Amino acid sequence: MAKLVKDSRFDSRAARARLKPSGKPYFRPLELNLHLGYRKGRHGGKWISRRYVGDRKYLVETIGAADDFADADGLETLTFYQAQAEARERARAAAEEARIARLGPVITVRSAIEDYLRARERREAKNLSGVGLKRDARSRLTKHVLGAEGLDDRLAQERRRLAETPLAALTTDDLAKWRESLNMAASSAQRTASDLKAALNAVARRAKSQLPPTIRDTIRDGLATVQAAVAVARPAQILQDGEVRAIVKAAWEVDAADEWDGDLGRMVLVLAATGARFSQAARMTVADLQAAQLRLMIPVSRKGRGEKTSTHTGVRVGDDVLIALREATVGGQASQPLLLRPRWRRIAGARWEKGERGPWRSAAELTRPWAAIVARAGLAAGTIPYALRHSSIVRGLRAGLPVRLVAALHDTSSAMIERHYAAFIIDAMSELAARAVIPLTSGPATEPPIATARP
């Protein structure tokens, strides 16, 4: 902490009252290249800061009124010692701004998002090996942070202001107001806020020297979820075994009707048999089909942080699944994608021609055929592909598998299973406990006599 400077001319009202009014301030050096001045007027004085900025130039600015007549409030009216602290703080802030300017262009919310999206897509292009890029984050951030189309003037102006705000000047209130302005379902708002949080944290880690040390706290507190409800698996999306079989059967029928050559049926079959996420199934290779071990090796997801201890999870499947997949991989190289799909191209007007097969790129490619599958299976129109994953998890719990094993087979954590599927865990535990109940009497149970009290 800087040592306070004493000066008998300034340190009391009485001392300053003896000074003659002057257009030029009375200055007192505080430290190298920094002076604090007092300009005496007829109706009170002002505290003046003078800072040397190089090339024989000084920056002079008024920093507050002196407490000549009114008591100091620490904001607009300052004592001599408060004025010293304010002058030093402004000098420190100016030096920090100059240091950051020397490091390169100012980092704004917009530039942070753009850098994050470019890095994310480069990483995905490398990791996905041609399967395709997921542009969900780009779409959400462009629409809800960088873009202002379709919004009223006030909200559009706020979005533009946030996008151009330097990260060094970003406040918790800036982010909280943006979070509150998202007019969408809670789950969608959370995904969008998580995308923005990831973008800002990425640059906060990379450019620590250009940002204040509190930036990570600002990001965390500003984008915190307010009154978040605990997510649970929707009961309507837990399918009975017969319904899962109906989906698989319908998938093969839609496959044949639309000339998918078995590719659609195999994708739905793998999702139903393993409970894997679409992104994991799409990344499987021919080598991941291990028929001798009666299993599929599912690539681990890229969800979460840090390095994972394994690259694949082995999941046992039935002979029907292995036969369907083995027929499609005869002669294929081990590194080729296990699941492919045909590509159609428009040749004239409404005419389409089926071209070469290629990898599945995005879960969105399943949307149109999935609607036909659900309708043919006779299920509710709102049934989603993720219902196969929900159902696989619940099927494992109902079979009495330990929660930890169910979590491992589905590449998630026990905590997530317990949070989303608590009701099914309780039912499964109750069924297991019922098996441990044994009769404790040799004859049929009878109602014990009720003891009567003696008079």
Q: How far apart are CA 147 and CA 158, in angstroms?
A: 11
Q: What is the pLDDT of residue 226?
A: 59
The percent of residues in the chain predicted with pLDDT above 70, rounded, is: 88
Q: Delimit the CATH 3.30.160.390 region(s) of the chain.
A: 13-103
Q: What is the pLDDT of residue 249?
A: 96
Residues of the chain by 3-state class (helix, strand, coil), percent to 5? 50, 15, 35
Q: Assign residue 168 a region (left: φ > 0; alpha: ψ between -120 and 50; beta: otherwise).
A: alpha
Q: What is the pLDDT of residue 357?
A: 87
Q: How far apart are CA 158 and CA 148, in angstroms?
A: 9
Q: 353-371: buried (b, 16+ CB within 10 Å) or exposed (e) per residue?
A: eeeeeebbebbebbeebbe
Q: What is the pLDDT of residue 135?
A: 65
Q: 328 — phi, psi (to 5°)?
A: -90, -5
Residue written as token pair 């190289």: 333
Decide which of 197 and 452 is more confident.
197
Q: Quick one: which H or E segment has residue 413?
A: none
pLDDT value at 322 more than 70: yes
pLDDT value at 339 more than 60: yes
Residue written as token pair 């299973």: 417
Task: Looking at the structure, give the CATH architecture of the domain made up of residues 13-103.
Answer: 2-Layer Sandwich (3.30)
pLDDT band at 325 (very low <50, low <70, confident <90, very high): very high
Residue 251 contacts residue 269 (beta carbons within 8 Å): yes
Q: What is the pLDDT of residue 247?
A: 96
pLDDT digits (tens, 9 = 90+) for 21-74: 888 999 999 999 999 999 998 888 999 999 998 888 999 999 999 999 999 998
Q: How far apart are CA 152 and CA 173, in angstroms?
A: 21
pTM equals 0.60
Q: How far apart are CA 391 and CA 410, in angstroms?
A: 11
Q: What is the pLDDT of residue 285?
A: 92
Residue 261 contacts residue 245 (beta carbons within 8 Å): no
The percent of residues in the chain predicted with pLDDT above 90, rounded, is: 47
pLDDT value at 402 more than 70: yes
SS (H, E, C) 67-120: CCCCCCCCCCEECHHHHHHHHHHHHHHHHHHHHHHHHCCCCEHHHHHHHHHHHH
Q: What is the pLDDT of residue 186?
A: 83
CATH number assigned to the domain with residue range 235-434, chosen from the 4 options 3.30.420.40, 3.40.50.300, 1.10.3470.10, 1.10.443.10:
1.10.443.10
The mean-pLDDT minimum among 25-39, 94-108, 383-397 falls in 94-108
- For 165, residues 6+ apart whose C-beta sits below 8 A from its C-beta are 108, 109, 174
The mean-pLDDT minimum among 92-106, 247-261, 274-288, 404-418 falls in 92-106
Query: DSSP string spanning 146-193?
Result: I--TTS-HHHHHHHHHHHHSBGGG--HHHHHHHHHH--S-HHHHHHHH
Collapsing DSSP to helix, strand or coil, 65 comes out as strand
Q: What is the pLDDT of residue 327?
A: 80
Q: Quick one: which H or E segment has residue 286?
A: none
CB burial class (10 A; 0-12, 13-18, 19+) of residue 305? Answer: exposed
Q: What is the pLDDT of residue 93?
A: 83
Cα maximum dimension of the chain = 113
Q: What is the pLDDT of residue 348?
A: 73
Query: Which residue type is seen at 312?
Result: H
pLDDT value at 134 more than 60: no
pLDDT value at 410 more than 70: yes
Decide which of 343 and 253 is more confident.
253
Q: What is the pLDDT of residue 305?
A: 55
pLDDT band at 304 (very low <50, low <70, confident <90, very high): low
- For 105, residues 6+ apart whose C-beta sits below 8 A from its C-beta are 111
pLDDT digits (tens, 9 = 90+) for 414-444: 988 888 888 888 877 777 777 788 788 776 6
Q: Is the torsion defined by CA of 417, 418, 420, 425 positive or negative? A: positive
Q: Delimit the CATH 1.10.443.10 region(s) of the chain.
A: 235-434
Q: What is the pLDDT of residue 173?
A: 93
